[in-house]
Structure 1
Amino acid sequence: MRHVVTMTATSSIGLIAVFLVDVLNLFYISQLGQQELAAAIGYASTLLFFHTSIAIGLTIAATALVSRAIGAGGLAAAKQLAGTALLIIGALSLLLTLLTYPLMPALLQMLGAQGETARLAQRFCAMVLPSIPLLALGMCLSALLRAVGDAKRAMYVTLGAAAATAVLDPLFIFGFGLGLDGAAYANICARMVLISIGLHGVFTIHHLYARPSRTAFMQGLKPFFAIGIPAILTQVATPVGNAAVTAAIAKYGDNAVAGWAVVGRLIPVAFAGLFALSGAVGPILGQNLGAKRYDRLRSTMRDSLKFTLIYVCVMWALLALAGSHIASAFGALDLGREIIVFFCLFVAGSFLFNGCLFVANAAFNNLGYPLYSTMLNWGRSTLGVIPFVWLGSHWYGAIGVLAGYGLGVVFFGVAGVWLCFHVLGKLERDAAAAAAA
C-alpha cells in the first residue's frame, strides 16, 4: 500500500497541477463573458482528446516494456526499448497531427459545433495541433521515469508544464489581450517546458536511453505494438464516449455545452488521483511480473481498489458541497448551471466504478492481456454510454444525458475487477505448473 500511495501521490500532484491549470484556462476564458468561447473550448478539447488518448496508449506500451526489462534485471535492454518507444511515438504523433488538419471542420461539425462557435473551435485547434508531438513525447518521458521508479522526477515533468501554463495563461489572455489565441499560445509554451524537463530526467539523470540499433528497433516493434495497439484502442474509447455525450448535449445549445465543458475540466481535477493511480500501478505490476512476485501482484490490486473507494467517497462529498459555488465561479447560466450542479451531487459517485475500470485496465496492459482492457473500455464507451445517454436525453433532456453517462459504467467497473483477479489467478497457476514441470 505504501508503494501504491507513494507512486500515486507524486503522480497526482503533477496531474492535479496540469488539470487545475486547464480549469483556470477555461475560467479565464469564461471571464470574457462569451458563452461561445467556453463552448468552443469544449468542442476543441473533445477533438484534441483523441490525440492525447493515442499518446497515452503508446506510453502505456513504453512503460510496460521498460518496467518489465528493469524488473528482470535487463537495464541495457530497457535503454534500447526506451529509445525505440520515443522514436515510434514521435513519428506516429507527427503523422496523426498532419492527417487531422484537413479533417478538422468535418470533425467539429460531427460533434455539433456550428456558426461562430465552430469557427472559434477550429481556430483554437489549428493553433494547438502542431504541439501535439511535443505533448506525446513529454508524456512518454514522464512514463519512462515512472518505469524506472523515479516518481518524483516524473512529477516534476507535469508540474513544470502546469507552472508555465499558470503564469502564461493570464499573461497572454488578459495582459496581451489575446483572448482565445492567448490560451492556445500558453498551451504550446507549456508543452515545450514539459518535454525539456522530461529530457533532462531521462537523458541526463538516469541515462535511460540508448540509440537503438536497426536490429534492436525491429525486435522492439512487435512487443511494442502488441501492447500499444490494444492500449490505443482502449484509450480512444474514452474520447469516443465523450464525443457521444458532447453531441447529445450540443442540441440543447451553447449554455449546455459550456456547462459540459466545465464538467469535462472538473472531472480530471477532482479525480486526478484515479488517473494517477492507473498510471502509477502499471510500473509496480510490470516490475513484479518481471520478478515473478505473484503475491505482490495480488496485494497491489487489492490496495489499489481500497485507495479508489476511499478517494472517490472523499471527492464526491467535497463536490456535492461545492457544486453551486463552482457553477457560479464559471458564470454558468440556466441549463449549464443545472448540468454542473447535477454532476457534483449525483454523477460524481459513479467514478467509483470508473476507478475500478482504470485499475483493471492498467493491470491488463501490464500483465500481457491488453485486449481485455480494449474490450472493457469499448464496451463502456459504446454500450455503457450511447444507449444510456440516448434514453436519458429522451426522458429527461440534458440532465438525463449526464445521468446516463454515469449509470452506464457500473456493470463494466464490476466486470473489470472480477476479470482482473481471474487473470491473476491464471498467471499464478500457470507459473506453478511451469515450475513443477
Structure 2
Amino acid sequence: MSDGPPLPPGTGFAEQGRFVVGSIMRHVLVMSATGSVGLMAIFVVDLMTLLYVSRLGDPALTAAVGLASVVQFFATAVNIGMMIAAGALVGRAIGAGDRPLARRLAASSMALGVLVSGLLAALIMPFADRLLGLVGAQGEALRVAHLFLMITLPSNVLLGLGMMFTGLLRAQGDAVRAMWVTLGGAIVTAILDPLLIFGAGLGVEGAAIAVCIARATFVAIGWRNLSQHGLMRRPRAAEVVADAPAMASIAGPAVLTNLAPSVASAFLTHLFAGYGPDAIAAAAVIDRLTPVAFGGLFALSGAIGPILAQNWGAARFDRMGETLRSCVTATLVYAAAVWLLLILLRWPLAGLFGLKDEAADLFAFFCLVGGAIWFFNGLLFLGNAAFNNLGFPLRSSLLNWGRATIGTVPPAYLGSALFGPRGIVAGMGIGSLVFGLLGLFLARRAVANLAERPAKPCAGQGSTAIVTGELAFPHAAGHDVGKS
C-alpha cells in the first residue's frame, strides 16, 4: 500500500487525525461496528416501541405511531443535514491539522444546529394535522398521531444537538464515544417505554414522553464526551454568521438529500393507505424493521464520511479510493447475510408483531426481496456520504431526489396497479437498483477527479488550500471556508 503524498511540514499524524494512517478496512470496520451499535440501539428501541404499542390491541394505535414517524422524519432529515455539514467541515480541519479552526467550526455548527432545529419544530407543529392527513391518517389514528407529535416535536432541539455531538465525535475519529451518545439514549428509552406505556398506563403518550427523555440523554452524554477532545467552546456571534455560508453550502444540499427519502416514504405510505389498515400496519412494521436489520448500512455510510474527510484534508487520495472499495465489499457481505436471515425468519417475525392474513403476506414478500433492495440502497448511501464530505453535496441531492421521484413514483404506481401492495414493494426496488449503481459510479469518478486537481493558493489567505469540488478548504492557518 502506498504511503501517499508527504504531509505538510511540522504536521504529525496525531494532529491530522487517526484515519490518515493504518488499515483502511480496519478503520471502516471499527467505525461501522461502533456506529452500528449506537444506530441499531435506537432502531431496536423504535421497533420495541412499536411492538409495545401493538400489544395495546388497537391497530389504529400502531398505525398512528408509524404515521407520526413519517411526518417527524422531515425534521430529522434537517438535523441529519446539519450534522453532515458539521462533520465534513470539522473533519477536514482536523485532517489538515488545524485545531483552532476545528474548535471554531464545532462551536458555530452547534449554535446553528440549535437555531435551525428549534425553528423547524415551531414551523411544523401548527400544520401537524394537515401533514398527517396528507400521508393518510384518519379518525383515531389521526388523533393519536397528532398527540404523539405535539409531545415529541418540541424536543427536536435536543435531538438536533445530540446528533450534532455524534457527528463531531465521529469527525474527531472517536467512534466509541459517538456510539455512547445514541446507545445511552436507547438504553433509557428501553427502560422507560414499558414503564410508561404499561406501568403508568399512559399508552402512546408514555412512548412519546420516553422519546423526549431519551433525546435529553443524547445531549448530556454528547456534551460530556465532546469536552474530552477540547472541541467545546462558547460560540461567537460574528463567527457563527461568518461560518453560516460554509455550513449552508453543505447542509442545504444534504438536507435536500435526506428529505428525498421522507417524501418517497410519505408517498408510499399514502399508496399503502389505499389498501386499508392491514397494509398500513405492515408498512409500519417494515419501516421499523428495516433500520434494525440494515442498520449496518447506515453505519457504513456514516463511517466513510470522517475517513474521507480526514484523508482529503491530508491530501491522501490513494486512501480515499481504497475507502470506497472497502465499503462496497462490506456492504455486499452485510446485505447478503441479513437477507438470508430475513428469508428464514419472515413468518416468525410477522407473528411477533401480530400481522395476519394480507398484512403478514405483504411483510413476508418484503423479506423475500428486501435484501436486494437494501444492497443497492447501501451503494447509494455510500455515494451520498462521499459527495457530502468531498465538496459535491448537490450530486447527492440530485441522486436522492431522482430515486424519490422517477425512481419511486412511476414504478410504485405501476406496481400498485398491476400487483397491489406487493407491486409497491417491487417498485421500490427498481429505483434502488438504478440509482445505487449510479451513485457508486459517480463517487468513484469524484475521488479520481479530486486526485488530479493540484493544491493551489487560496485567494486572500496566507496559507494553502486544497481546492476541490465545490468548496475551497483552508489547509493550515486560514479560517475562511466558502465557495471556490
Superposition TM-score, scaled by structure 1 size: 0.97
% identical aligned pairs: 47
- Give distance in 2, aligned partners of 1:422 and 1:352: 21
Q: After TM superposition, give the deviation of residue 431 of structure 1 in Å.
A: 2.4
Query: Which of 59, 62, 66 is the aligned partner of 1:35?
Result: 59
Deviations 1:248-273 (A, max 9, x none): 00011111101100000011001111
The corresponding residue for 2:259 is 236
Aligned residues: 434
1:74-113 aligned within 5 A:
74-113=98-137
In structure 2, the partner of 1:249 is 272
Q: 5 Å matches for 1:139-150?
A: 139-150=163-174
What do the CA deviations read for 1:379-428 (whole angstroms, capped 9, x no partner)?
A: 01111111111001100111111111122211101111111111111111
How many Å apart are 1:117 and its aligned residue?
1.1
Instruction: Specify the code of the residue in structure 2 equivalent to 1:313.
Output: A
Q: Deviation per CA, 1:59-91, whole angstroms, max 9, x where unpaired?
A: 000000000000001111101100100011100
Indicate the residue corresponding to 1:396 in structure 2: 419
Q: How does 1:278-289 map to 2 (within 5 A)?
A: 278-289=301-312
Separation (CA, whole Å) in 2 of partners of 1:264 and 1:98: 26
Q: What is the correspondence of 1:261-280 to structure 2 with a 5 Å cutoff?
A: 261-280=284-303
Q: Is 1:349 aligned with 2:382?
A: no
What does residue 315 of structure 1 align with?
A: 338
> Which of the numbers 313, 319, 322 marks the counterpart of 1:290?
313
Can you list the C-alpha shifts for 1:89-137, whole angstroms capped at 9, x where unaligned? 1001100101111111111111011111111111111111111110111
**How far apart, CA to CA, are the structure 2 residues paired with 1:108 and 1:12?**
30
Q: Which of 382, 388, 401 is 1:378 aligned to?
A: 401
- 2:69 maps to a residue whose letter is S
Q: Are 2:421 and 1:425 aligned?
A: no
State how far apart, in whole Å, the 1-side matches of 2:179 and 2:236 are: 30
Instruction: Find out whether 1:22 has 2:66 as its counterpart.
Output: no
**Contact 2:412–2:424 (CA under 8 A) maintained in structure 1:** yes
1:90 alignment partner AA:
V
The correspondence of residues 110-259 of structure 1 with structure 2, limited to 5 A, is 110-203=134-227, 205-259=228-282
More helix by share: 1
* Maintained 8 Å contact 1:39/1:255: no
Question: How much has 1:334 moved relative to structure 2?
Answer: 2.2
Letter in 2 for 1:420: A
**Corresponding residue for residue 299 of structure 1:** 322
One-letter code aligned to 1:355: G
CA distance in 2, matches of 1:328, 1:380: 32
**In 1: Cα distance, 2:455 partner to 2:90 partner:** 25
**1:155-194 Cα shifts (integer Å, max 9, x gaps):** 0001100100000000001111111111111111111111
Residue 358 of structure 1: how far off its partner (Å): 0.2
Equivalents in 2 of 1:166, 1:212: separation in Å? 34
Unaligned runs of 5+ in 2: 1-24, 458-463, 465-484
Q: Bigger CA drift: 211-220 or 306-315?
A: 211-220
For 1:51 and 1:20, locate their aligned partners in 2 and report how far apart those are by CA, in whole Å: 20
Opposite residue 94 of structure 1, the aligned amino acid is G
> Which amino acid letter does the alignment assign opposite residue 327 of structure 2?
S
Instruction: State the 1:47 CA deviation.
Output: 0.5
Aligned residue identity for 1:22 = D
SS of 2:234's equivalent?
coil
> Helix, strand or coil: the match of 2:325?
helix
Q: TM-score, normalised by structure 2?
A: 0.88
Give, in angstroms, the shift of residue 220 of structure 1: 1.1
1:433 is displaced (CA, Å) by 9.7
In structure 1, the partner of 2:383 is: 360
Larger Rg: 2
For 1:184 and 1:23, the matched residues in 2 are separated by: 14
The Cα shift of 1:347 comes to 2.6
Whether the aligned pair in 2 keeps the contact of 1:347 and 1:403 (CA below 8 Å) is no
Question: Does structure 2 retain, via aligned residues, the 8 Å contact 1:141–1:199?
Answer: yes
Which amino acid in 2 is paired with 1:321? L
Q: Counterpart amino acid of 1:126?
A: M
Task: State the Cα RMSD in Å.
Answer: 1.3
State the alpha-carbon separation in 2 of the partners of residues 245 and 121 from structure 1. Answer: 18
Offset at 1:429?
1.1
